[in-house]
A and B are shown apart, each in its own frame.
Chain A
């Protein structure tokens, strides 16, 4: 008989078998008389263990332990009180650091964007002699000027993208970065005329055939008002 098989008697008596194992064990006991005798004999001995006395610890020992527990609890409370302000300072310092670092990061980010924009503008002005935003504005303004006589009063095209150098003669593409192109003007009962001017102005814009900015990060439509 293997040791594990012998241990099955204990597992059976101690109720550490699952129901299917118990069933098998009972079947085995029915078939093997020696096994049945061994299990019953162990059961009798085990019963005697129920009489094992429980011994109480002396009261002076338990009192001493409880006193120690109370002292330790006080010590822990004191330690918590000492550490709490330190934690507060630590949290405040961490917050301050986070805010400073975050602010710095944002500032660097904005500076980088600015320099990128400037670089893009410079690249465009060198590589693509197309109509600039300024020119676009000029063109619209020209149209406006010509239409002033027909009641088109003070036209203005406002674009939120960075403006090019006013004196620059180089042609820069107008890049749509989801900026808003607004035509602001006043028409006095000449809605039809305004529509014509608007149409004429926007018709001039067309997609650049060979975009000068090949940066993958700039996924924007490049339009120009000149012949590309």
Chain B
């Protein structure tokens, strides 16, 4: 699909940077410029939303809501001095968080490690019931073990991982986007990696046990 769309857009647009494309769309209503912008970023934005809500239908809604806001508010709210994609990501992030809050699935951000207390980070790992539920999910071949582990991460850690992974966003920008200090953002990334390592280790251990049982 992306390739098909790209074919319709002249090469001239593909060579322009985001800033120019945004200007073309704002000033002349240039639809090709907007299409090129979407083609460039849609996958990353959608992946981020999808990884956060874990539901295709909801991800579609949030993605559409994000771009509706982008289209209608670009003239009034977007300041051309800033990066367009950072502005779009902020909208996508806020829409995602709003949805998660509405679903009451939002994990309290003011967790202990954020306050730099000495609470063990393993407290934040899913409980046994959830793990057994995850075991059921393991049968779902469509999901990779990595995605499953990512899904198990607390919301705020997943946010940082995804923003960093899909956008290579500097921690300063992640901190601004998620309204936390840069140290908190770095701390979240660190705990996300530690938790993931633990989950991978656990998975490996289980596989070894299964193998031993079969043997």
Contact = CB atoms under 8 A, between A and B. Distances in A.
A3 to B, nearest CB: 5
Interface size class of B (residues with CB under 8 A): 35 or more
Contacts of B29: 72-74, 76-77
B61 to A, nearest CB: 9
B196 A48 contact: yes
A7 B186 contact: yes
Contacts of A54: 43-44, 47, 166
B115 to A, nearest CB: 10
Interface stretch (B30-38, B79-87, B99-107, B132-140): B30-38
A166 interface: no
B187 A65 contact: no
Interface string B19-46: 0000001000111001100100011111
Interface stretch (A28-36, A39-47, A87-95, A194-202): A39-47
Interface of A: 3-4, 6-7, 9-11, 14, 16, 41-42, 44-46, 48-49, 51-59, 61-62, 64-66, 68-70, 72-74, 76-77
10 contacts: A3-B183, A10-B193, A49-B165, A51-B144, A52-B166, A61-B64, A65-B64, A66-B35, A68-B71, A76-B29
Interface of B: 1-2, 5, 25, 29-31, 34-35, 38, 42-47, 50-51, 56, 59-60, 63-64, 67-68, 71-72, 75, 116, 144, 146-147, 150, 161, 164-166, 170-171, 183, 186-187, 189-190, 193-194, 196-197, 200
